[in-house]
Amino acid sequence: MKTNAARFLDSLGIHYELRDYEVDPEDLSATSVAKKIGLPAEQVFKTLLCVTSDREHIFAVIPGDAELDFKKLAAAADARKAEMVSLKDVQPLTGYIRGGVTVFGAKRPFPAFVDETMELFDIISVSAGVRGTQILLAPGDYLRAALARVTDLTKDGPA
């Protein structure tokens, strides 16, 4: 089944693969999705909708095994601070539900900030806009289609 995100990529002539997996409503984590589609968690990127202190909505796209550093995101967005959008606001703003949020085909084209580790891989995976389907594509194609800015967005691990 083609999703809005897949149709968006089709319109740009971008090559991708759709990969389905079984959804566990109790565990929508990117690490769980990664196991189900056979990729390391650091190659499966989760898309988080955030809001800045200036009330601007932005997407943060980070590896599935990482935690978003809100200070780094705020700095990248030239804002004082950034925080997650309330879960109840995600669908009205993006058209997508938790576990199915993607930059592609969202209701509005919010600015996207992508963690720099995306460029380390030949193939990455992001939600296809529905739970149970991922889009696999080249990072360069993702960045071009998302009009994303690449920056360091994750919390540093233990030294």
Instruction: Say what the pLDDT of residue 157 is.
Output: 63
- Closest by CA to 45, choosing from 148, 106, 111, 135, is 135
Assign 156 a pLDDT band (cuts: 50, 70, 90).
confident
Could you tell me the domains of the chain? 4-151 (3.90.960.10)
Please answer whether residues 142 and 126 qualify as being in contact, where contact means their C-beta atoms are separated by less than 8 angstroms: yes
Stated pTM of the model: 0.94
Secondary structure (DSSP) of 84-121 = EPPHHHHHHHHS--TT---STT-SS---EEEEGGGGG-
- The three state secondary structure string of 2-71 is CCHHHHHHHHCCCCCEEEECCCECCECCHHHHHHHHCCCHHHEEEEEEEEECCCCEEEEEEECCCCECHH
Which of residues 100 and 1 earns the better pLDDT score?
100
Please answer whether residues 58 and 148 qualify as being in contact, where contact means their C-beta atoms are separated by less than 8 angstroms: no
Instruction: Say what the pLDDT of residue 159 is.
Output: 46
Cα–Cα dist 150/85, whole Å: 21
Q: Which residues on adjacent β-strands are paired with residue 127?
A: 134
pLDDT digits (tens, 9 = 90+) for 51-104: 999 999 999 999 999 999 999 999 999 999 999 999 999 999 999 999 999 999
- The three state secondary structure string of 59-75 is EEEEECCCCECHHHHHH
> How large is the average pLDDT for residues 115-137?
97
State the residue for tokens 């938790």. Answer: 98
